[in-house]
Structure 1
Amino acid sequence: MSGKRIMDVELLRGIAVLGVLFHHLQGSLFTDSVPTLEKIHAWAQPWWGVDLFFAISGFVIARSLIPALHGCSTRQEYWQQTRNFWLRRAFRLLPSAWLWLALMLLACLLINRSGAFGSLHANLQATLAGVAQYANFRFADSFYNYEYGSSFVYWSLALEEQFYLLFPLLILLCRKHLVWALLALVAVQLFTLRTPILMVVRTDALALGILLAMWSAQPSYLRCEPRFLRRPWAGVSALLVLAVALSFMATDRFTFTNYRIGAIAVLSALLVWIASYNRDYLLPKGLLKNVMVWVGSRSYGIYLIHIPAYLLVRELIFRLQAAGLPSPAGHPILTIAIAGGLIVLLSELNYRCVEMPMRNRGAALVQRLSAPRSAVPSSGATSC
C-alpha cells in the first residue's frame, strides 16, 4: 500500500501549487496595483498552499519511510535504508532545484534590462542559500530588511530538505515515543506566536502529516473513513468549505492571528486525511480532476518555475514597451495567460527532461547499492 500513488493527494498538490501561483501574481507578475486581485486578496489569501504541501510531504514520506526503517533488524540495515532514502530524495529534488537557481542567476546577468530579476549581489547570495539549504533562514533574516533575490520560494524547499535529512534521525532517537514527540511538536507551535524565524521553521503541518501516515497503518483508520462524503457533491462541498476557511484564515481579517498557522496546519492535514483514502471524495472523476492531477504531478517543477516565468514575462513587456511595440501591459488576463502558458510548457519540459530521468537514475543507483555483490545489476529503473 505504501508505494501506491494516491490520485487524490496529487489533486491536493495541484490545488496547493495553484494557490501559491495565484498568491504571487501581485508583486511578482504585476508590480502595479490590480484592483481585482486586491479585492480578492482582502478576503482570501491562498498562500496556505505551502502548508498543504508540508502536510502532504509529511504523509507521503512517512507512509513509506517509517515501515521501511521499523523493519530493519540491524543498525547497518537501518543506515542503509536511510542512505537509500537520502539518495532518492537528492536525485528527485536537487537537479531541478539547482537548474532553476542557475537559470535565474543567468537571467539576472543576461536578460535583466528591466531589473525584474533583482540585483546580482542579492541573487548570488540567494543562489548560495538555495544550494546550501539555508534559504529559509536567509528568508527570515531578509524579511522587510533587504532584498532576498528572485529565488525566494526556495525557503520552503530548504525546510522540506532539512526535514528529509533529520526525520530518519528523529525516528531513531524517539523510537516508540515518536508519536508523543510529534504531538508535542504540534502542540508547542499551535500556541506560539510566529516570529519570522518561527514562520520559516514551522513544522506543525509536516508533523501532522507524519502522524496521519502512522495512523493509516492502524485498524481505526479504516473505521474512521468519511464515507458520508460519497453523497453527491458532499465531498466537493467539503473541499470548497475548507478552502474558503483556509483562505480567510490567511488574511488579516482573521483576528485570531496567534493561532493562524496552527489552524491552517490542522485544516491542511484534514484535507490530506480525506484524500488519503483515494476514494474521489474531494472531486469526482472527470476532465477537471484529470487536469488537476496533471498539475499535481508537475507541481514541483511548477513551484520552481513560476517566479522566473513571471519575471520573464515582466521583462518581455518592458522590452516591448521600450521598443514601442504592442504589449499585454494593462491587460491582466492576457498577461496571466502568457505566463500560464510559459509555466505549463517549461514545467512539462522539466518533468520529462530533468525530473523523471534523474529520479530514475537515483532509483537505479539505490538498486545497485542495495544489490548483493554477486548479483547481476538490473538494467531497469524503478520510480522514486
Structure 2
Amino acid sequence: MNGKRIMDIEVLRAIAVLGVLFHHLQGSLFTDVVPTLEKIHAWAQPWWGVDLFFAISGFVIARSLIPALRGCTSSQERWQQTRNFWLRRAFRLLPSAWLWLALMLLACVFVNRSGAFGTLPANLQATLAGVLQYANFRFADSFFRYEYGSSFVYWSLSLEEQFYLLFPLLILFCRKHLVWALLALIVVQIFSVRTPLLMVVRTDALALGVLLAMWSAQPGYQRWRPAFLARPWLGISALIMIGALLSFMATDRFTLAWYRIGSIAVLSAILVWIASYNRDYLMPAGAVQRLLGWIGSRSYGIYLIHIPAYQLVRELIFRLQSAGLPSPAGHPVLTVLIAFCLIVLLSELNYRLVEMPMRNRGAALVRRLGTSRSVVPTSGATPC
C-alpha cells in the first residue's frame, strides 16, 4: 500500500500548486493592479494550497517512515532507516531547489534590465537562506519590512525540510506517545494568535497529515470510508465546496480570526483523508484526472519555477516595450498564457533532467549502503 501512487493525492497536489500560481499572479506577474484579479481576491484567496501541501506531505511521509522505524529491532537499524530517509529526501528535493536558486541569482545579475528579479543584495541573502534552510525565518523577518528576493516561496520548502530533519527524531523520541505529542502541537497552534513568525513555522497541517497516516494503519480506518462520495459528481462537488470554503476563509475578511489557519489545516486534512482511500472519490478516472495527475507529479518543480517564470515574462515584456515592438502588455490573458506555457516547459525539463535522475541516484545510493551493510566478511578475509 505505501508504495502505491494515489491519484486523488496527485489531484490535490495539482489543485494546491495551481492555487499558489493563481495567488502569485498579482504582484509577481502583474505589478499593476488587474481589476478582475482584485475582484476575485476580495472573495477568494487560494494561498491555502500551501497548507494542503503540508497536510499531503505529513500523510505521505508518515505512512512509510513510521512503520519503517517502528519495525526496527536495534538502534543501528533505526539509525540506518533515518539516514536512508534523509538521503532520499535530500536527493529528491535539494538538486532542483539549489538549481533554481542559482538560476534566479544569475537572472538577477544578467537578465534584469527591468528590475523584475529584484536587487542583488536581497537575492544573495535569500539564496543563502534557501540553501541553509532558514528561508522561513527570513521571510517572517522581512514581512512588509524589506525586500526578500525572488526566492520568497522557499519559506515553505525550508519549513518542510526542517520537518523532514526533525520528524524521524520525534518518532524515535516519543515512541508510543507520538499521537499525544502531535495532538498537543496541533492544539497549541489552533489556540495561538498567528504572528508572522508563527505563520512560517505552522505545522498543524503537517501534524494532521501524520495523524491521518497513523490512523490509516488501524482497523477502524476502513469503517469510516466515505463510500457515498463514489456516486457520480458527489465527490467532485465535495471537492469544489471544500475548496470554495477554504478560498473564502483565506480572504482578508478573516484576517483577525484566530481560528482561521487552524480551520484551513483541518479542512486540508479532510481533503487528504478523502483522497487517502485511493478510490478516486475526488476525481474519477478520465482525461481531467490524467491532466491533474501530470500537474501533481510535476508540482514540486512548478512551485519552484513559477516565480522566476513570471519575472522572466515581465522582463521580456519590458524589453519588447523598450524596443518599440508588440508585446502582451495590456493583455492579461495572453500574458498569463505565455507564463503558464513557460512554466509547463521548464517544469517538464526539470522533472526529466533533474528530479527523476537525482531521485534515482538517491535510491541507488541507499541500496548500495544497504548492500554494503549486509555483506559479512568470511573467516580470514580482510574487510575493506
Per the shorter chain, which TM-score range? Answer: over 0.9
Q: Which residue type is aligned with residue 154 of structure 2? A: Y
Question: How far has the Cα of 1:373 moved from its partner?
Answer: 5.2
Structure 2 unmatched runs, 5+? 377-384
Secondary structure of the corresponding residue to residue 254 of structure 2: coil
Per-residue displacement from partner, 1:182-241 (whole Å, max 9, x unpaired)?
A: 001001111110000000000000000000000000011001000010111110110011
Distance 2:53 2:79 in 1: 27
Distance 1:128 1:274 in 2: 39
Question: How far has the Cα of 1:255 moved from its partner?
Answer: 6.6
Distance 1:263 1:373 in 2: 46
Q: Which residue type is aligned with residue 50 of structure 2? A: V
Structure 1 unmatched runs, 5+? 377-384
Is 1:112–2:112 an aligned residue pair? yes
Alignment of 1:175-324 (within 5 A): 175-254=175-254, 257-324=257-324
Other-structure match for 1:380:
none
Count of residues paired in the alignment: 376
Other-structure match for 1:361:
361
Distance 1:268 1:374 in 2: 42
Per-residue displacement from partner, 1:38-78 (whole Å, max 9, x unpaired)?
A: 00000000000000000000000000000000000000100
Secondary structure of the corresponding residue to residue 257 of structure 1: coil
Distance 1:242 1:347 in 2: 28
Moved over 3 A (4+): 372-376
Is 1:141–2:151 an aligned residue pair? no
Alignment of 1:68-107 (within 5 A): 68-107=68-107
Secondary structure of the corresponding residue to residue 252 of structure 2: coil
Structure-1-length-normalised TM-score: 0.97
Other-structure match for 1:15:
15
Question: How far has the Cα of 1:372 moved from its partner?
Answer: 4.0
Distance 2:186 2:60 in 1: 18
Distance 2:53 2:11 in 1: 11
| Identity fraction in percent | 82
Distance 1:374 1:267 in 2: 45
Question: How far has the Cα of 1:254 moved from its partner?
Answer: 3.0
Distance 2:287 2:2 in 1: 27
Distance 2:374 2:130 in 1: 40
Compared CA separation, residues 362 and 255, structure 1 to 2 (3 A): closer
Distance 1:272 1:13 in 2: 10
Secondary structure of the corresponding residue to residue 136 of structure 1: helix
Distance 2:124 2:279 in 1: 46
Distance 1:118 1:40 in 2: 27
Q: Which residue type is aligned with residue 105 of structure 2? A: L
Secondary structure of the corresponding residue to residue 152 of structure 2: coil
